[in-house]
Every structure is written in structure tokens, then in C-alpha cells.
Amino acid sequence: MPDSAGQIAKPHTTGTSGQSDALIAILKNEFGERCSTSQALREQHAHTTTWLQNQPPDAVVFAESTEEVAEIVRQCASHKVPVIPFGTGSSLEGHVNAPHGGISIDLSRMDKILEVNSEDLDCKVEAGVTRKQLNSFLRDTGLFFPIDPGADASIGGMTATRASGTNAVRYGTMKDVVLGLTVVTADGNVITTGGRARKSSAGYDLTRLFVGSEGTLGVITEITLRLNGQPEAISGGVCPFPDVQSACNAVIATIQMGLPVARIELLDNLQVRACNSYSKLELAETPTLFLEFHGSEAGVREQSEMFSAIAEEFGGGPFEWATVAEERTKLWTARHDAYWAGKTLRPEAQIMVTDVCVPISRLAECVTETEKDIRSQGIIAPIVGHVGDGNFHVQVLVDLDNPEEKRTTEAFVERLALRAIDMGGTCTGEHGVGQGKQKFLRREHGEAIDVMQAIKQALDPDNLMNPGKILPQS
Amino acid sequence: MPDSAGQIAKPHTTGTSGQSDALIAILKNEFGERCSTSQALREQHAHTTTWLQNQPPDAVVFAESTEEVAEIVRQCASHKVPVIPFGTGSSLEGHVNAPHGGISIDLSRMDKILEVNSEDLDCKVEAGVTRKQLNSFLRDTGLFFPIDPGADASIGGMTATRASGTNAVRYGTMKDVVLGLTVVTADGNVITTGGRARKSSAGYDLTRLFVGSEGTLGVITEITLRLNGQPEAISGGVCPFPDVQSACNAVIATIQMGLPVARIELLDNLQVRACNSYSKLELAETPTLFLEFHGSEAGVREQSEMFSAIAEEFGGGPFEWATVAEERTKLWTARHDAYWAGKTLRPEAQIMVTDVCVPISRLAECVTETEKDIRSQGIIAPIVGHVGDGNFHVQVLVDLDNPEEKRTTEAFVERLALRAIDMGGTCTGEHGVGQGKQKFLRREHGEAIDVMQAIKQALDPDNLMNPGKILPQS
């Protein structure tokens, strides 16, 4: 994910700047050098995809415990200054921008793995733990944490944006694997939600209300996660198809047969070409599925053979699969490097990434129409998708300094979002709303937005928790 | 589940009885014979497990569309009269009681299956469709709806109570399979939540806020459900163990190995004895697991063999399994008849059913302590559990006309709920809170209850949506 900051905007505080100054003086007194107002650090804490303007917070505080987060939130509340939680800054829709100024709470030092309960296949971590850190820690336990959004995001950030990624088709998204949370609410109280039981009918599902709330209802500081046993065997491979339609039909058949595929990813022609060049692969430049199966030795063989038959039925193949770790690693590294591979198609451009998700029966149509749209606009935009879920990403290579190109790209993103919504899908499958998708939310949810607003108003009456995100300005 | 009504209490309305009378006159005018105040019908619409007092609504209205539900809710709102949604009346914790009087909206005539999308493995149903009706309808499509709480409950009621049952270990609970909802809110607006995309990061997860809200935030009228492909092959069988501990250890090992068991149910000695007698089985009277595996022919064989080895490792077995439908049906009919079998242990008594759920590492300890508690109290109470989730039920056979027995049972249920909470579990895994578990909620959730109260207040400021349920009276 890109680390370069975009244009810089002046912050606008909701509190007066006097309140913000007084607050920062208090925080500097309490947190010493862990409270910083350096320009570079503030800009880095508002970094997003480059197409959104950088809106830095007034200060950054590095919190080291839930109690410290609560103290910062209480101080912000009493000074009516916004709070913006920050994990690793790998989000894509302006989630960490501070359009109204405020204090960025950096949670990266809350990186303790608090407990791992092997018998129960769960663990509890602080919000700043990253997914790779957690999986390194788990390596010898026989367990793993399956959610893989590509970036080495923090678990707190992944929870806040309801992240998912390549494994979601089998292992679910953050909404499925988060069992419980510790949250600092807008008034600086600390609550815990959910618990370690696998299921519960005891009251409102606050856990899933906070999952995906993007910091707008409170700051997530600890997360209890469901884990999975490491599979005994893994097989994987690639399968070319003559066109997007036949690839999607093979995906539908795979899901419908209940084949427990762990990953099933579509790369369009252009993305395959980019990956060939960037990752030294020699794939045919045609719509291609990347697959992975998890299970017993016999199980993954059976699954691979069944998929092979499905692919053939829909005119695809041959499906070349391997259980050798090195070959699989090369493929999946290429898949994860798709972003950087895409960039080589126009090295001087910036990348504007967007994602949508549709019912899989509409996937082929949605991808095909989007490809047509791309061609008609003359833009360069490879497509890669978590197609088992009907979710795909478009990476538009765009010169943001060219106003016309920027407008063309924004209009393309808008058409894509509305196309997905009109097909019974959503304007974002896994990247979240942030600032980038706000304008599509009422079209997608209608009057349910008013219910979301009522909840926001009830839990954050002064609108200080990551203001200017998710809910459209009324 | 029992159909007999318990003691009858006089309704207490929050509105004046004049308001209620005026409202009923309006509803009778609008709905004719579909609005009834007959004593028998009102009592039947408040029926619950017999240990909770029957508190009938002031009237029952049979709604036939979302728009009719909205009209009833709007009328109730303007008269400040409570609304109690009613599906099939198979809930267990007083969910359909009307402690403050009000209008019971019977949704059983909203029984249309609105759409089935085979390619997307989803469907949309009205709230009154029952799970057996849905599965009959789906039989020829190759799909099925996996959630099986035992009773032939309505999908609306199952959604409202976050139901699960025997298949949850593999297929999840209602929180996992509900993709979207149509809900009539407290002000009589109609909103839709979620959608048909497999995943979305577009805003607050209202779907899962309404799942399990037991009618206290709105009336669910339509549900979009994820479906599963019917498994190619099913195998199942029973496996005896020397004690609860070894059975639970086998369950933990099974889950930890990632064996995708579809059902794994524990029956304690007493429950086995009852099932032997009631269902003409000849099982050894020892803690016994009932299992079912879904998959390919080879897959279920492999799973069965792997479980067999696990059972042996923990001193259990032999695991006798069969792929013959008749034998499996006999076993699972016996499992589903466990309630009636239990009743034969003391035919003249009533049954007080309760459920808790704990992390599976604590399951053996929780079940063993509970059995000890049962013995020390001299009560008759078989145990049966969805142990793959750490969830188990206790059916206390109790003479509710005997005040001392009633007190003993209530105290036992309280100890059980607190035991589960203290082990990191929940006071209810799948039956819901209703009236019966309200008093345990603050112990389980602490200050998170205040957040639930704030949401309730925001979405139902006049406290008219199924009042007196879930949230403890403050």
C-alpha cells in the first residue's frame, strides 16, 4: 500500500483552536514526548490513498494502554476536540484523515498478545498487534489467524473497517472472527462486548455494531479473536479461462457444490499481464483464477480434482495445482504484489483503488460492464477480485495532477459503486466507507441511514469520534 | 415444546386502558376479524415455558404484509401502546409475554417465500415462514437452510432470538446466515438492512443489531438468508464415553483438528436413559456423543474414521457410524425428542428448560459441576448439549405448584447462569434473554448494558417495542 502522502489541507477543528491548544498542552504534560505536533508525524497519521486530500490531526498521541486511551478520550471530550484512532495507516478511504482536526490516537504501541487459548481456538490481542505479528506468534501452536487483507494491518484497524481479503470465502470476515471487544466509548468509559463463548443470545450484538464502525462510535483497544487450526495440507494453483463469464460460472459452481475452497481469486487480462511482468510469471494473458485448498492430504487432492472437473465443464483449464510450498508461495506473492505489479503499467501515475461486492450471480456482468467502462474511458485499470464472495477491486492508474483525469476517475468510481448497488450489491465489500464512499451510502441503505444516524447520535452526541466518516453529511 | 399456558396474570398497560380501547377499536375497524380480543387467543399468544407467568396482550392482530405491520405499529405509537411480535410461540424465556399489555402482532400469515436465488445460495422469506416449510420448499433445489433449533420455529422468531441449534458448529447461528432484513421501526417506518452481497463494509451492521434484539428495536418482517448446498453424503452415529470429561476432550480435539463436523451433541447418562426408554434405543447409559458429518462420500468416510481415532485416544468408543438414512433418522429423531423423553422421567411435572454456553475448554468442568449441583439438590434434570459450541441445555422436571420446588429450581438456574458467566461464557447460548435471563445481563456485560440502553432509547424512545424484555429494569 502506498506510503506517500497526498496534498495537504489545513485542519478545521470543531472545538475552537484555543480549546485544541489547551488540550494539547494537557496531553503534552501527561504524555511527554508521546504527544507530538510535528508536521511530518501529523501528515503521516493522515496518510491515505493519494486521491484523497491529506487532512492532518492537530496532534498525535502514542497510547500504551486502554486506560491511557480512555484518559485521552476523556480529555478530548471535555475540550470538545475530535478523536481519530490510528493503527498502521493502511486503510484506503481516508479513514484516518482529520477533516475537523483533533487528536490522532496511535495504537501501534499497544502490541501485546494478551492470551492464546489453544483449546478454545481463540486469543486476545491489543489493537496495535498486526496480523503478521499474530501469525508469527501463533506459528508453533498449530493455530492461525485467517483474515488476510494483503497489507500487514493492525487487528484494531481490521476490526474497525470490517476487513476481509483472500481467505474470506472460507474463513469469513472480521465480523465472523471477532468474538469480543474492549472499547473506549465517547465519554471515556471502558466497556467490554461479547465474550469467549462461541455463541450467545444475551442481548444486543454490540461486538458487531463496533466491527466496521471505523472509530465513529468508540476506540477499539482489545480484540478477542477466533482462530483456526493450521490445515494439515494445502494445495493451490492457477486456472485460465477464455473469458470472465466462464471463470465466474466456474466460481459459482464451486461455491454451489460446497467445495470448501480457501481462496479463489480472479485476475483479469491486464492484471495477469502486469503480474507476469512484475513477478516473472509466464501465465497466459486471459482471465485467470488463483485457487487454494485447505484440508487433509486426501481432502485437498479431492477438492483440486473436483475443481479441475468444474473448470473443464466451463471451458477453462488446465488447472495446474501443486502442494509444494515454494510454488504456491510464488503464486500468492504475485497475487499479493498485484498492487505493485499494476503500478508498473504506468509507473509515473498514482493508484486509486476501489472495491465493490455483488451477488456472485451478477459478478460476471459487473466485471464485464466495468471492463467496458474502463475501455470507453481510455483509462488503465487492472481488476483483481475475491470472487468467491463476489468482491472485486479496480486499481485505476491516474495522474491526479491532471484535473480532467481526476474527474474521469471519480466519475468512473461513482458509476462502479452505483452499478454494484443496482445489482443488489454494496459500494464497498471490504475497504470501508471512510470519506471516499459516504456519498453512496444513502443510495445503498435508504432510510436505514437514519437509524445509523440515531445510533451515532446516541453513542457520540458531540460527534467527536472520528467525525466526517461513514455517515453522509446531512 | 410445551403448548400449555401457565398461570394467567392481568395485563398492565403503559398507555391508559382508554388509549388501548380506542386503539383496539381502530384496529378492529381496519383489520376486522383479524384483530381479536378473545381470552383464549390472547393467552395462547403469551404462552411460554410454563415456569414464567402468562401475561396476555390486550389484543392480537394477524398481519399479512409489511405495510400492515407498519400501520399497526404507527397506530400503537400514536396511542402509546406496546407492540409484541409473535411468530410460532416456541420461544422459551417469556419473549411473547405482554407484561405491560399491548398488541401482539401475529406474523404467521406472512408465510411467503419471496425469492430463492440458487446461483447465489440465498433466499428471501417473510417472517412467518417456518424452517421446515422453507426446507420443504428447497428440497428440489439442491439447497437447504441449516439452522435447526429443534422446534419448527418461524424464521422471524429465529432471527429475533439469534437462534441456532444442532448444526451451528458447522453452519453458524442466525447471526451468520442472515444477510439482510426488512424491519418496521418504532415510528412505523420500513427500513431494509444488509443486502445480498456476501460481505460489505458499508456502514453500521444494523442487520446484526436487529438479529437477537427480540422485537425490542423493531418488528422484523422479511429476512434474506444464506443457504447451503445439500451435502452429497451424510454419515452419523453415536459414541459412548466413560465420563463427561473424556467426551468433552474428544470434542475439543475434533474442533481443534478442524474436522468440519456438522453436529456433535452430548447426552448425559440421564438423558441417554430417557432417550432409550422413549425412543426405543439400546444405548449404554453413559455420556454419549451423537455426531453427523457432511461432505463427499470420501470426505464423510475420512471424517468418521478420524473421529473414531480421536474417540479412542480419549478412552471412548466404539464409534458406530452409518451412512444409511434410516438409521441416522432414528438417532436424530431421538435427539430431537430429548425434551419429550426427559419428560417421561417425571411425567406429572412441568419442564423448565435453560441453556448456557461456555468456552469449550471449560465445558467438562461446567457440565460436571452442574451435574453435582443437580444431585445435591435432589432434582431431576437431564443435560443435552451442542457441545461443539460449548452450549448445553438443562431440563429441570419441576412441580411448579410446589413453591419450594419452584424456588429450588430458580436458584439452580441462577447458579448455572452465574457459573457459565464466571467461566467466560454466557447466560444464554441460543434461547435468548426474554424475561427469564434479564437479571443476569449486567453481570455478564457490565457497563456495556448502558450502551445497549442508549441504543434502545434512541430507536424506541417511548419503550413500546416488546417492553420488559432483554434490558434489565433500571
Tens of pLDDT along B146-166? 999 989 999 999 999 999 999
- Measure CB to CB from residue B445 to each of A203, A430, A451 and give the nearest one: A203
Residue burial A141-173, b: 16+ Cβ < 10 Å; e: rest: eebbbbbbbbbebbbbbbbbbbbbbbbbbbbbb
Q: Does the beta-carbon distance from B206 to A452 stay under 8 Å?
A: yes
Instruction: Answer yes or no: is pLDDT of A16 > 70.
Output: no
Q: Using a CB-CB distance cutoff of 8 angstroms, which residues of chain A are in contact with residue B459? A: 451, 454-455
A198, A254, A423: which to substitute to probe chain B, counting the most B Cβ within 10 Å?
A: A198
pLDDT in tens, B177-234: 999 999 999 999 999 999 999 999 999 999 999 999 999 999 999 999 999 999 989 9
Strands (E), A227-366: 228-229, 233-240, 261-267, 288-295, 320-322, 350-357
Containing H/E element for B95?
none
Q: Does the beta-carbon distance from A117 to B458 stay under 8 Å?
A: no
Distances (CA, A) of B225 to A420, B114, B122, B149: 20, 11, 5, 16
For B299, nearest residue in chain A (alpha carbons): A299
Handedness of CA B215, B219, B222, B224 (dihedral sign): negative
Instruction: Answer yes or no: is pLDDT of A202 > 90.
Output: yes
Q: Using a CB-CB distance cutoff of 8 angstroms, which residues of chain B are in contact with residue A118? A: 256
Q: Does the beta-carbon distance from B198 to A424 stay under 8 Å?
A: no
Containing H/E element for A34?
none
Name which of A23-27, A60-64, A377-381, B254-258 the model is least confident about.
B254-258
Residue burial A338-354, b: 16+ Cβ < 10 Å; e: rest: bbebbbebbeebbbbbb
pLDDT score at B327: 83
A159, A181, A200: which to substitute to probe chain B, counting the most B Cβ within 10 Å?
A: A200
- Measure CB to CB from residue A205 to each of B175, B258, B391 and give the nearest one: B175
Place of cell 485499470: A381
C-alpha cell at A99: 477533516
Place of cell 508453533: A140
At residue A274's C-alpha, the angle toward residues A273 and A280, to 5°, is 90
- Reduced to 3 states (helix: H, G, I; strand: E, B; else coil), residue A229 is strand
Place of cell 510535528: A38
DSSP B235: E
Q: Using a CB-CB distance cutoff of 8 angstroms, which residues of chain B are in contact with residue A206? A: 448, 451-452
Tell me how far apart the alpha carbons of residues A269 and A227 are, in angstroms, rounded to a whole number: 35
A/B interface, count of CB pairs below 8 Å: 281
- Reduced to 3 states (helix: H, G, I; strand: E, B; else coil), residue B364 is helix
More confident residue, A8 or A417: A417
Grade residue B249 by pLDDT with cuts at 50, 70 and 90. Answer: very high
Place of cell 453424503: B233
The ipTM assigned to this model is: 0.95
Q: Does the beta-carbon distance from A448 to B191 stay under 8 Å?
A: yes
B177, B193, B198, B264: which to substitute to probe chain A, counting the most A Cβ within 10 Å?
A: B198
Place of cell 437447504: B144
Q: Please give the backbone phi and psi of residue B263, each rounded to the nearest 5 degrees, phi first.
A: -145, 140
Closest by CA to A210, choosing from A466, A390, A472, is A466
By CB atoms closer than 10 A (0-12, 13-18, 19+), residue B94 is buried
Q: Does the beta-carbon distance from B389 to A118 stay under 8 Å?
A: no
Q: Does the beta-carbon distance from B201 to A429 stay under 8 Å?
A: yes
Tell me how far apart the alpha carbons of residues A308 and B372 are, in angstroms, rounded to a whole number: 55
Q: Does the beta-carbon distance from A430 to B231 stay under 8 Å?
A: no
Tell me how far apart the alpha carbons of residues B349 and B343 are, in angstroms, rounded to a whole number: 7
Closest by CA to B319, choosing from B240, B233, B260, B261, is B240
Give chain A's largest Cα–Cα span.
69
Tell me how far apart the alpha carbons of residues A124 and A109 are, in angstroms, rounded to a whole number: 16
Tell me how far apart the alpha carbons of residues B149 and B349 are, in angstroms, rounded to a whole number: 23
Tell me how far apart the alpha carbons of residues A25 and B415 are, in angstroms, rounded to a whole number: 51
CB B340 within 8 A of CB B395: no
For B169, nearest residue in chain A (alpha carbons): A198
Q: Which residues pair with A190 in a beta bridge?
A: A184
pLDDT in tens, A68-125: 999 999 999 999 999 999 999 999 999 999 999 999 999 999 999 999 999 999 999 9
Q: Does the beta-carbon distance from B433 to A201 stay under 8 Å?
A: yes
CA B434 to chain centre: 11
What domains, with CATH codes, occur in chain B? 17-106 (3.30.43.10), 113-229 (3.30.465.10), 233-340 (3.30.70.3450), 346-433 (3.30.70.2740)
At residue B335's C-alpha, the angle toward residues B331 and B339, to 5°, is 145
For A123, nearest residue in chain B (alpha carbons): B359
pLDDT in tens, A123-159: 999 999 999 999 999 999 999 999 999 899 999 999 9
pLDDT score at A376: 97
CB A80 within 8 A of CB A18: no
Q: Does the beta-carbon distance from A260 to B260 stay under 8 Å?
A: yes
pLDDT score at A474: 53
What predicted TM-score, i.e. pTM, was given to this entire model?
0.95
Tell me how far apart the alpha carbons of residues B251 and B290 are, in angstroms, rounded to a whole number: 11
Mean per-residue pLDDT, B104-110: 98
Tell me how far apart the alpha carbons of residues B432 and B383 are, in angstroms, rounded to a whole number: 18
Tell me how far apart the alpha carbons of residues B225 and B240 are, in angstroms, rounded to a whole number: 36
Containing H/E element for B469?
none
Q: Does the beta-carbon distance from B258 to A163 stay under 8 Å?
A: no
Q: Does the beta-carbon distance from B202 to A161 stay under 8 Å?
A: no
Tell me how far apart the alpha carbons of residues B308 and B6 are, in angstroms, rounded to a whole number: 45
C-alpha cell at A457: 447520535
DSSP A378: T
Tell me how far apart the alpha carbons of residues B351 and A243 are, in angstroms, rounded to a whole number: 61
Going by DSSP bridges, is the β-strand pair B383-386/B261-267 parallel, antiparallel, or unpaired? antiparallel
Tell me how far apart the alpha carbons of residues B341 and B412 are, in angstroms, rounded to a whole number: 22
For B430, nearest residue in chain A (alpha carbons): A201
CB A131 within 8 A of CB A112: no
- Reduced to 3 states (helix: H, G, I; strand: E, B; else coil), residue A187 is coil
Instruction: Answer yes or no: is pLDDT of A413 > 90.
Output: yes
Instruction: Answer yes or no: is pLDDT of B12 > 90.
Output: no
C-alpha cell at A343: 503500478
Tell me how far apart the alpha carbons of residues A430 and A267 are, in angstroms, rounded to a whole number: 18
Grade residue A275 by pLDDT with cuts at 50, 70 and 90. Answer: very high
Q: Could you give the residue ranges of the DSSP H alpha helices within A80-215?
A: 131-138, 155-160, 168-171, 174-177, 206-210
At residue A248's C-alpha, the angle toward residues A244 and A254, to 5°, is 150
Q: Using a CB-CB distance cutoff of 8 angstroms, which residues of chain A are in contact with residue B456? A: 204
pLDDT score at A381: 97
Tell me how far apart the alpha carbons of residues A422 and A434 are, in angstroms, rounded to a whole number: 21
Distances (CA, A) of A164 to A169, A356, A387, B60, B132: 9, 13, 13, 45, 33
Residues 6+ apart with CB under 8 A from B327: none
CB A352 within 8 A of CB B110: no
pLDDT in tens, B252-266: 999 988 888 999 999
Give chain B's largest Cα–Cα span.
69
Mean per-residue pLDDT, A178-183: 98
Q: Please give the backbone phi and psi of residue A238, each rounded to the nearest 5 degrees, phi first.
A: -125, 150
pLDDT in tens, B380-430: 999 999 999 999 999 999 999 999 999 999 999 999 999 999 999 999 999
Q: Using a CB-CB distance cutoff of 8 angstroms, which residues of chain B are in contact with residue A450? A: 189, 191
Query: Highest-confidence range of A11-15, A21-25, B227-231, B256-260, by mean pLDDT?
Result: A21-25
Tell me how far apart the alpha carbons of residues A166 and A171 are, in angstroms, rounded to a whole number: 9
- Measure CB to CB from residue B205 to each of A117, A142, A209 and give the nearest one: A209
At residue A117's C-alpha, the angle toward residues B238 and B165, to 5°, is 40
Chain B: closest CA distance from residue A59 (Å): 27
For B437, nearest residue in chain A (alpha carbons): A202
Tell me how far apart the alpha carbons of residues A31 and B303 are, in angstroms, rounded to a whole number: 56
Distances (CA, A) of B1 to B88, B151, B179, B200: 11, 7, 28, 37
Closest by CA to A201, choosing from B470, B216, B148, B153, is B470
C-alpha cell at A86: 490510528
Mean pLDDT of chain A, nearest integer: 93
Chain B: closest CA distance from residue A83 (Å): 19
